[in-house]
Every structure is written in structure tokens, then in C-alpha cells.
Amino acid sequence: MGTALIYDEEMTRYKLLWVDPACKIEVPERLTVSHEALIKNGLADRCVSVPVREATDADILLVHSEEYLEAVKKTPYMTLEDLKEFTLQYGDVYFHPNIYHCAKLAAGAALQLVDSVMTGKVRNGMALVRPPGHHSMSSAANGFCVFNNVAIAAQYAKQKYGLKRVLIVDWDVHHGQGVQYCFEDDPSVLYFSWHRYEHQKFWPQLRESDYDSVGKEKGAGFNINVPWNKVGMKNSDYLSVFCHVLLPVAYEFCPDLVLVCAGFDSAIGDPEGEMCASPDIFAHLTHLLMNLAGGKLCAVLEGGYNLTSLPQSVCQTVQTLLGDPAPRPANLDGPCESALESLHCVRSAHRQYWSCLKHAAKLPTFEISTKRVKLAEEEERLEKGDEEKSQEEQVWPEPPKRVTPPIRAALVLPNGVACPDGCESFGASEDADPVIVNKLRENFVKDADDCHALTTLSSLISLVEKMEKNEGCSDASGFLQAVLGLLLPLGYEYDPSLVLLVRMPDSGVCDSVWQQLTGLLQGLAQGHTLVLMQEGEKERVAPTASALLGDAAPSLGQLHSPLPEDVEVLERLRHRLQGDWKLLQTTAPETGRGDEH
Ligand code: Q7Y
Ligand code: ZN
């Protein structure tokens, strides 16, 4: 099962025709440099090339009003003066005689991607499109966007394939308010967005982009906003929001399809975002979403304006979709205080809607609002002495070349167990190599002195033991909560060069949970995972090999509440360890005062 790539040069054939400082960064080269980088890195060739199509009127009307569509239809025939005037009724967007054609192709590309994934032609894919979509609204163009490509794709997928639940992950640095408005009261579409906010001082400066806009009526709880109130957010900030908000909720939601508003203005060097996350973080964000919905993931380009950082980020995303192991994430030193505060706020705003967040720390509402005002004033004062460097001066190392391992998974099997398709079988050698044995002994003794690591390990083992006492898969949700909120952040911060995964007989972990665990852990150590199983566990070989080969793990179904006693153990452990392991933190130091149950 392959990865689709959708691109058409036609979408480079419109540009800004007058002077407008707000719009000058949205250039055709965004698309050409991204596509050329995919070719240069040998990635385009490995993808299934899928043609674009024009979205039909019926497709566009799934999200937009007839009046708006009819107005946009007239733009190809307008004079320059008419176009300028037409543009004036909207915010931060420009029109061109060819933009209506391109906007139909951009939305159509998203629909082609959904069709390719839903019919099983490919497992996942990415569409490189212009104009972007997530800011456009039912009756308005906005923020370089004409039609809301991803919102149209979500409605189309629900209608054509009868999907019950669609997850939209918007990792662009701007709030996709158009997507939020479209699905605000709709519980069948879960919209997650993080965005530069700075206490409402950053574009589009909307009150409803804050963490307390959680959705309306039946859709309450299905809109998740993570405001970044400072610039310079780093890899740790992004990963901690994935581990402590998005992933637990996404697994509980159990989507049939994942759509990504894949904007890369959230990467370092971008003049709009001013964030500091490295392009290779997108390998991890992608990887972490690839075991949801049985691997059905469609990424559609939104923003990204630094012509060096953008193609690097696009390549990291596509290479991960193709199944290559992610690079080891660098300098994960824990989230900053402002990110922790956002994390705390979002988790508390959603604790009533999601059982995975039931135990999250509360935040008295009056304290939040006064805090917002207080912080905004404080920042105003600080901004007087502005001495930050422009994003064009930012430098960062080029992401390391990623290799496609010649053998994805090798097995050493006992006699009589067939080697699953796609794996290489290695014979067990009779005699141990004395050099290796000595090395092992030395290393083992050295590691045994590392009390800190031992304490951590023994805590983890006792937790796993506790969970093992539950028979069958009755506590998949508690197990998953431990994996997402504890093991994954610990693993990321520890940055191992090898993951050793031991499966005990009768562990009580069912195949699908085991495959999720194996799949998620392959984001660490460049995917170097060694699984040890006992000879008796012959039936576990095939599912394990499948996970090691990078097949998407089967979905776990909608999860019930984890057992209170498991949550309690887990939370106690997280609190004990979070002094040493910053990625386990979920509350800001001065507001965090222990979780309330
Ligand atoms: C839209 C966007 C979509 C000058 C301020 C201009 C432009 C906002 C439009 C951004 N620094 N603001 O990027 S992904
Ligand atoms: Zn953006």
C-alpha cells in the first residue's frame, strides 16, 4: 500500500499583481521548491502520482454559500481594478484571473486524495496545493484562502463513504477559523488546531481562537484550540501537546479518517510563525498520527513561507508517510512555561468532555481570565525594547539524510514458525561471541550503577505489572493512556538509540494494543526496535512482524473510561517523575497545584 502525491504545475500560475505587504509572501515558488525537493530526494518517484481534478460546484457547496461561489466565478473575467476592489471586501487575501481555476484544483486535489485513500488505492498521501484553504469561510475568502480544501474534503468523505468520525489536525501556525466555524456544532468532525495567538494579539486576532472555544451544542468538546502565547515554540512544546492533548483525545475519538491541514509556517525560519521547531519534527507529528484510522491519513498543504524550511518540512512529512524511520528528535528539553500554561488550560477546558482528561488539573475560570489580561499587559511593557532577530537571519542545520533500511524487519524464529511475508529470517547462532558477551557484561555493570535510570525503569515495570493483572484487553484505554502520557514522552526525552520491547507470556495485552504500542515506539531510536518474545507465543509473531514492517495498527475502537485505580497509579508516577523528565509536565509551575480527582 503506497503513498499518493498530488501536484499540478497549474497551481503555480497565479500571483499577487499589486503591492500588498501582507500578501507578498504567498508566492508560486512555495509549490515549485517543495515539489523539486521531493524529486531531488527521490521521494516523488516512490509515491503514487495521482492527478488533480477540478472540484465541482456541488463539492464546493458542501461548505460554501451559493452567493460566494457565484461571486468568485466572476473573478476570471475581471479587470485588474475590479480584482483589487473585489479583494478589498476580504481580509489578507488577493485575487488573480487564474485563482478561481487554481482554487478548484486545490479543493479537487484534496478530494482526489480522499478518494485514493478511501478506495484503498493507497494507504495515505499528500497534496501540494495553492491557494491554501483553512481560513476561508462559507461566504468569505480570507488569509490567502479561497475555498476551504480540507473542510470540503471532510464533508465529502462523510457523505460519499458514510464515515462516522473524521479527525482534522491543523498544525499550521495560524488558526483555521474557517474549519472551526464549519464544524463547530458537528460532533462527527473533531477539529484540533494549535496557533500563534499571543493573547489575541496575533492575526486573525479572534476571541474564538482561545482554548475555551470547545465547540457548540452537540459539537461541544469536538473543537480543540491550543493557543501559543509566545513565539519561539520548539520541538518539545509541539510533542508535549501531541502526547498530553491530541493523541489521547484522538484515540478516544477513534476517527475513520485523519485529515491534516499541513501548514509548515509552524517551522523554524517562517516569517509569519516565528517559531523554532525544526523541520524534522514533522516526521514525528506525522508518525504519531499514522496508526489512527488504520493509517488512513491525507495531508493537504496550507501555509509555509520560508522557501528553505518549507521544502525540508514537506520532505520530512512525505518520507514518513512512505514508511521510512523518523530521525532521532534533537534537543528535547521540555516545554517552556508559556506552553505549559496553554497545555494546562486546554486540558482543563476539555476535562468534562473526554474521559482521558477527566483527571486533568482544574483551573478556576476567574483566574484564567484575569491571568489573560495580566499577561497581555505585561507583554505590552516587554515589547518596548524589541531586539529579536528577523526570521530570515535564522539558521538551522539541514535535516540529516534519512535512510530507507534495506531490511525493514528481521526475525530470529524457533523451528516450525514460518517467517511472515516481507520479513527476513535470521538463524539463531549456536555459540555466543565472547567479545559480545564481554561487552554486554561491561555495559550491564555500568548501567546498573545508574540509579536514576533504574528507579525510573522499576517504576515503569511495576506499572506494567499492575496493568497486566487485568485480563484480556479490558483495559486497553488505561494501557494506552500510560503509553501516550508516560512512556512516549519519557522515551522522547530519554532519546534511546535502541528500543527493547519485551513481551511477557500472558501479558493480557491484545494484538491490536500491542501493535499500537510497537508502532508508536518506532518513532524513537530511528525505528531501531528489538522485540523479544517467548517461544510459546507463536501466534503473536505475525501481528508483531506486521507492526515492525510499518503496517498501520488496527484501530482500537472507541475507548471507555480507564479504570480509576490505573489512572491513579499513572498520575502518581507522572507527578513523581516530572521533576526529572520535563516532557511529563502538563501544568505551569505557578498555576499547577496537583491534579484534582
Ligand atoms: C495567512 C496565512 C495562511 C504581516 C502581517 C500580515 C498576513 C496574515 C495572513 C496569513 N506580517 N498578516 O498564512 S496559512
Ligand atoms: Zn498559516
530 CA to centre of ligand 1 in angstroms: 46
Residues 112 and 18 placed together within one structural domain of the fold:
yes
- The whole-angstrom separation of Cα 242 and Cα 287 is 11
**Assigned domain for 122 exists:** yes
219 CA to centre of ligand 1 in angstroms: 28
| Residue 170 Cβ < 6 Å to ligand 1 | no
Residue 458 neighbours by CB distance under 10 Å: 10
Lowest mean pLDDT among 169-183, 275-289, 356-370: 356-370
pLDDT of residue 460: 56
Query: pLDDT category, 593, cuts 50, 70, 90?
Result: very low
**Assigned domain for 130 exists:** yes
- The whole-angstrom separation of Cα 499 and Cα 564 is 29
SS3 228: strand
Place of cell 474549519: 179
396 CA to centre of ligand 1 in angstroms: 23
Q: What residue owns the CA closest to ligand 1's atom 12?
A: 22
Residues 454 and 343 placed together within one structural domain of the fold:
no
Residues 241 and 302 placed together within one structural domain of the fold:
yes
Q: What residue owns the CA closest to ligand 1's atom 5?
A: 22
pLDDT by residue (tens digit) across 49-60?
A: 999 999 999 999
**Assigned domain for 586 exists:** no
pLDDT of residue 594: 46
Which DSSP string do the residues of 46-100 spell out, in sequence order?
GSEE----PPPHHHHTTTS-HHHHHHHHTGGG--HHHHHHHHHTSBS----TTHH
pLDDT of residue 155: 98
Q: What residue owns the CA closest to ligand 1's atom 13?
A: 303
- The whole-angstrom separation of Cα 431 and Cα 415 is 17
Which residues, chain by chain, have CB under 5 Å from ion ligand 2? 172, 174, 263, 265, 303
277 CA to centre of ligand 1 in angstroms: 19
| Residue 92 Cβ < 6 Å to ligand 1 | yes
Q: What residue owns the CA closest to ligand 1's atom 14?
A: 303
- The whole-angstrom separation of Cα 309 and Cα 331 is 18
pLDDT of residue 414: 82
Residues 414 and 449 placed together within one structural domain of the fold:
yes
**Assigned domain for 282 exists:** yes
Mark out the alpha helices in 450-561 (DSSP H runs).
451-468, 476-482, 488-494, 511-521, 541-548
Residues 179 and 318 placed together within one structural domain of the fold:
yes
Residues 380 and 424 placed together within one structural domain of the fold:
no
61 close to 147: Cβ distance less than 8 angstroms: no
Q: What is the CATH number of the domain that holds 328?
A: 3.40.800.20
Query: pLDDT category, 413, cuts 50, 70, 90?
Result: confident
176 CA to centre of ligand 2 in angstroms: 8
pLDDT of residue 254: 97
Q: How many structural domains are present in the chain?
A: 2
pLDDT(470) > 50: no
| Residue 143 Cβ < 6 Å to ligand 1 | yes
Residues 344 and 461 placed together within one structural domain of the fold:
no
Residues 159 and 196 placed together within one structural domain of the fold:
yes
215 close to 317: Cβ distance less than 8 angstroms: no
- The whole-angstrom separation of Cα 556 and Cα 360 is 23
Active site residue ranges: 135
| Residue 22 Cβ < 6 Å to ligand 1 | yes
**Percent of the chain residues topping a pLDDT of 90:** 74
User: Closest ligand 1 atom to the C-alpha of 174?
Assistant: 14
Residues 27 and 69 placed together within one structural domain of the fold:
yes
Lowest mean pLDDT among 473-477, 532-536, 589-593: 589-593
**Assigned domain for 348 exists:** yes
For 94, the domain range is 3-392
Name beta bridge partners: 168.
191, 259
Residues 356 and 492 placed together within one structural domain of the fold:
no
Among 359, 392, 425, the domain-final residue is: 392
**Assigned domain for 354 exists:** yes
**Assigned domain for 278 exists:** yes
Residues 124 and 234 placed together within one structural domain of the fold:
yes
**Assigned domain for 405 exists:** no
Q: pTM score, two decimals? A: 0.92
Q: What residue owns the CA closest to ligand 1's atom 6?
A: 22
